[in-house]
Amino acid sequence: MKVLVIGGTGTIGQAVVRELGDDNEVVVAGRNGGDLRVDITSPDSIRDLLQQVGTVDAIVSCAGQAAFAATTELTEEQMELSVRSKLLGQVNLVRFGAAHVVDGGSITLSSGLLAHQPARGSAAISMVNAGVEAFARAAALDLPRGIRVNVVSPPWVAETLTAMGRDPSKGLPADKVALAYAECVRGSRTGEVLDARDFANG
């Protein structure tokens, strides 16, 4: 299969590329690295990327930024970035990407644990993560030609916790998180939100 991984230079994205790379042609797109460049906050950038890639069997998104700040301290810029990047950016990957995915192919998006287990300062992140999940469930009912769409919800990633100087044992290693993305690409699910922890022993 030909698989486009957006955000494939990040911690989770690199693990997804490794997991899928042995038996697939993987094209990596990122904001600052990879085979191709893309800014998912820009609809035109997404369209340009898809034109360059052409037809694919699957699109995987490990991309999207969202602000972490107390609700009353969130700025307009932080809220707009959160919505334009992690929410609308991924929505547009589905809207525009479907025309580039083969019959029966798949699109996989990313949300996160904070959609269902919010924490102090997570209002913007929790909002956009939940929005991604709701969108995918509805979009799965609309997509033509048997195209599937799912969401992976990662917990804290061990490597990220290490980089933050926190205990990595409280997180899940990126290579384990990648198994949930692989299930979305290789399997037959659609309209589902996969908790990456459920695939840690896959």
Domain of 95, CATH number, reads 3.40.50.720
CA-CA distance, 199 to 178, in Å (whole number)?
9
Q: Is the pLDDT of residue 9 over 70?
A: yes
pLDDT of amino acid 59:
98
pLDDT of amino acid 163:
85
Residue 2's alpha-carbon distances to 59, 137, 146, 185, 186, in angstroms, are 9, 24, 17, 11, 12
- Show the domain range for 164: 2-199
Q: Tell me the pLDDT tens digit for each residue of 67-86.
A: 999 999 999 999 999 999 99
Strand order in the sheet with 148-153: 36-37, 25-30, 2-6, 56-61, 101-110, 148-153, 193-195
Burial class of residue 171 in the structure, from the number of CB atoms within 10 Å of its CB (0-12 exposed, 13-18 middle, 19+ buried): buried
Grouping H, G, I as helix, E, B as strand and the rest as coil, residue 30 is strand
Q: What pTM was computed for the model?
A: 0.94
Domains held by the chain: number = 1
